[in-house]
Structures are given as C-alpha cells and as structure tokens.
Amino acid sequence: MSLRIVVTVKYVPDATGDRHFADDLTVDRDDVDGLLSELDEYAVEQALQISENSDDDVEITVLTVGPEDAKDALRKALSMGADKAIHVEDDDLHGTDVIGTSLVLAKAIEKAGYDLVVSGMASTDGTAGVVPALLAERLGVPQVTLLSEVSVEDGVVRGRRDGDTASEQLEASLPAVVSVTDQSGEARYPSFKGIMAAKKKPVESWDLEDLEIEADEVGLEGAWTKVEAAAERPARTAGTIVKDEGEGGKQLAEFLAGQKFI
C-alpha cells in the first residue's frame, strides 16, 4: 500500500526581527528575515515518524503558499527528511486571508494527490489556528485536530488530544486532515546529510492559473476580513520595582490590591 502525506508549512517573519505593517496594512514581509513556522516543524516531524513506523510506501510532500523567500521554509522541511515540495507563489496572493489561503491550499492538495494532510496547530504570525478545519471542509474529509500523538494503520489515522481535564482518543478513515500540537514531540534538527540531500529534492512551483483560481478570490481583493487600522503597541514600561527592606510583602500586597488583582 502507498501513503501520500501532504504537510502544510508556513513561511513566517522571524519573531526576533523588526515586524511591522506595510502601507497597505499587511505585514511587511520585504526586507524581513523569515523562517519555517516553528509549529509546522512538529507537523513535518510527525509525518516523518508516521513514515518511519509504517510498512507502506510513504511519500511526504511539503506545501507552502507564500512569497519567493518561502522556498527557505520548504528547504528546511526537505532537509528534515520530506521527499518533495510544492511552492504556490503569485503576486495576486498578497494579503490573502485565512479563507483565501484555505482555498489555495485545498486546490493544491487535490492537484498533488493525498491520503493524509498534516498541519501545525497554528502559524506563529497569523495565529488563527483555523486553516486545518477550513481545509477539511473544502476537501470534504474528516479532521482530527490538535493531536499530541498520531499514527496511521490500515487506512485509519488515530491520535490523542489532550484537553485541560481529559484526553480523547480519536480516529478517522483516510483521506483526512490532522493538525498536531507542540506537545507532539521534539522536532528533529536537519543533519548535514539531510541538508545536502535537500538541495537535490524536487520543488514544484505553481501559480493561481495552475490551480484555476481567479485573482479576485484571493489577495486583499478576495479577503473576507480587512485591517482598517494598525498602530504600534506602546513600548512596555519597566514596571514597579519593589525593594524588600522588610516591608516587601506588604508593598506587594498593596500593589496587587491597587491593580485589583486581589
């Protein structure tokens, strides 16, 4: 049996960098270093573990929708061990919202062919945490989200979702969409061998025409949400420093009472 896994990975601005909004109130991605969203490294890792624990012939494709530099995110995932990559890039994608992103991803996944889609729990910039559910809806397949443990056997994906008060054991027949959390296990670091091998692995580039998507279905024009205004958050103040000269506890209690915390 073969198993085709598609892992969705997002290229995000480096959180340590200077992130700011562009004039059109989208996040300025020019001249800002970017990287593979950390939460998607867990998705790549779980896909690799499914492959390593399977007797099937497993193929892992990593897929991203993003600007030219998003290739760096694909390269990182390929160096971790994914087999091939797909990059959907088009100027008309600028400013695409979650609805548009899910449309592009769904069309690309259908075109690529799949049995299982593995996503991260959320991206580290938009943080909506909804794309996996939107994908499942568009693909018309089950979704099993926020898993801390996942496995595939005999055409069924199984997993554990840990809530605050209970853990659930969930399963769904393939094809399906799953998302994994940052509690699903450490993501491996690419080995030197992996980094070198990644340079030779195929990266296909598709645009909106390849996916038969009209420009007005995506981008700022097709967005269902609109950023009306954006303002820098005031710089954090140093805060109140209490020097304990015997009355520290009392001063702290007064401060907390003053803040109505107690």
Residues that bind ligand FAD (CB under 6 A): 8-10, 27, 37, 39-40, 43, 64-66, 96-98, 101, 105, 119-120, 122-123, 125-132, 225
Determine the Cα–Cα distance for residues 82 and 103; give it in Å rounded to an integer.
23
> Are residues 13 and 69 in contact, defined by beta-carbon separation less than 8 angstroms?
no
CB of 65 to ligand FAD, least distance (A): 4
Asked if the bond preceding 175 is cis, omega within 30° of 0, the reply is: yes
For residue 181, count CB atoms less than 10 angstroms from its CB and return exposed for 0-12, middle for 13-18, buried for 19 or more: buried
Residue 181's closest CA among 119, 128, 125, 124?
119
The structure tokens 């995110």 sit at 73
Indicate the residue among 3 and 62 with the shorter CB distance to ligand FAD.
62
CB of 25 to ligand FAD, least distance (A): 10
CB of 245 to ligand FAD, least distance (A): 44
Indicate the residue among 124 and 151 with the shorter CB distance to ligand FAD.
124
> Are residues 61 and 110 in contact, defined by beta-carbon separation less than 8 angstroms?
no
CB of 96 to ligand FAD, least distance (A): 5
Indicate the residue among 32 and 196 with the shorter CB distance to ligand FAD.
32
Indicate the residue among 27 and 242 with the shorter CB distance to ligand FAD.
27
CB of 97 to ligand FAD, least distance (A): 3
Determine the Cα–Cα distance for residues 3 and 175; give it in Å rounded to an integer.
10
**Other CB atoms within 10 Å distance of the CB of residue 178:** 28
Joined together, the tokens standing for residue 70 give 């998003």
Joined together, the tokens standing for residue 183 give 């509690």
Residue with the shortest CB distance to ligand FAD:
126
Joined together, the tokens standing for residue 226 give 């609109």
Determine the Cα–Cα distance for residues 262 and 256; give it in Å rounded to an integer.
6
Indicate the residue among 8 and 79 with the shorter CB distance to ligand FAD.
8
Indicate the residue among 214 and 244 with the shorter CB distance to ligand FAD.
214
CB of 135 to ligand FAD, least distance (A): 8
**Other CB atoms within 10 Å distance of the CB of residue 192:** 8
Indicate the residue among 195 and 223 with the shorter CB distance to ligand FAD.
223
**Other CB atoms within 10 Å distance of the CB of residue 98:** 18
CB of 2 to ligand FAD, least distance (A): 23
